[in-house]
Chains A and B, each alone.
Chain A
Amino acid sequence: DTGVSQNPRHKITKRGQNVTFRCDPISEHNRLYWYRQTLGQGPEFLTYFQNEAQLEKSRLLSDRFSAERPKGSFSTLEIQRTEQGDSAMYLCASSLGLAVETQYFGPGTRLLVL
């Protein structure tokens, strides 16, 4: 399968713990995006990378969130000191090139903070 993959698919954690999610984009895609989707809502943009450079961060991304894409390939999204309000589906997407390209989504990581 050459689509976008995300791991883990599900994560249950206790409030205050740190969690890290991984996204592997489609191999030749330069852009990688993170979105968050809460129940009954459409996805909301969090951040994006052009190769290894993080070019934009939403105000939704508090200081407890950090994302990296160290070699311009896979990306990680870490949430420190999780809160119950962080419970959501975290979606990763990737696209090719500099122009407006279709974004291809992964299956998501569903986070539940108890």
Chain B
Amino acid sequence: AQTVTQSQPEMSVQEAETVTLSCTYDTSENNYYLFWYKQPPSRQMILVIRQEAYKQQNATENRFSVNFQKAAKSFSLKISDSQLGDTAMYFCAFISDSGGSNYKLTFGKGTLLTVNP
């Protein structure tokens, strides 16, 4: 079974600064996908960024980028130029790419990020 660990329950950052959220995972599989989802106070989960494990290049999406270390099973999210609207709960999630399991997202417990003005 896969597990996802987010070791930082809460973090805060000043507006316009950079922050990194940590995520580690455990799996015996070689093919999988990793995601960061954002859940603002309104509670709708929104995809932030997605990484395919077979890709060595780290995914980027505007101010959001990841540092994917497959051997270390680490998948951190970097938010640059933090904005007040980035305040949210951030979840790291894993999904297998094996035919029998490619439907179930496994989430970490989340990191509550607060961006201060």
Contacts and interface: CB of A to CB of B under 8 A. Distances in A.
Nearest to B32: A100
Nearest to A95: B103
Given A48-B104, A107-B42, A100 B110 contact: no
A27 to B, nearest CB: 18
Q: SS class of chain A's interface: helix, strand, loop or mixed?
A: strand
A40 B105 contact: no
A93 B103 CA distance: 11
B103 A31 contact: yes
A66 B106 CA distance: 21
Interface in A77-107: 89, 91, 93, 99-100, 102-107
Contacts of B93: 42
B105 A103 contact: yes
B68 interface: no
Contact of A104 (B42, B47, B95): B47
B97 interface: yes
B103 A33 contact: yes
Contacts of B45: 43, 91, 93, 105
Given A55-B103, A99-B102, A100-B95, A42 B44 contact: no
A108 B104 contact: no
A75 to B, nearest CB: 14
A42 B42 contact: no
A45 B4 CA distance: 14
Given A40-B110, A43-B45, A102-B35, 8 more contacts: A42-B4, A42-B110, A43-B105, A45-B105, A48-B103, A56-B103, A99-B102, A107-B44
Interface of B: 4, 33, 35, 37, 42-47, 50, 91, 93, 95, 97, 102-110
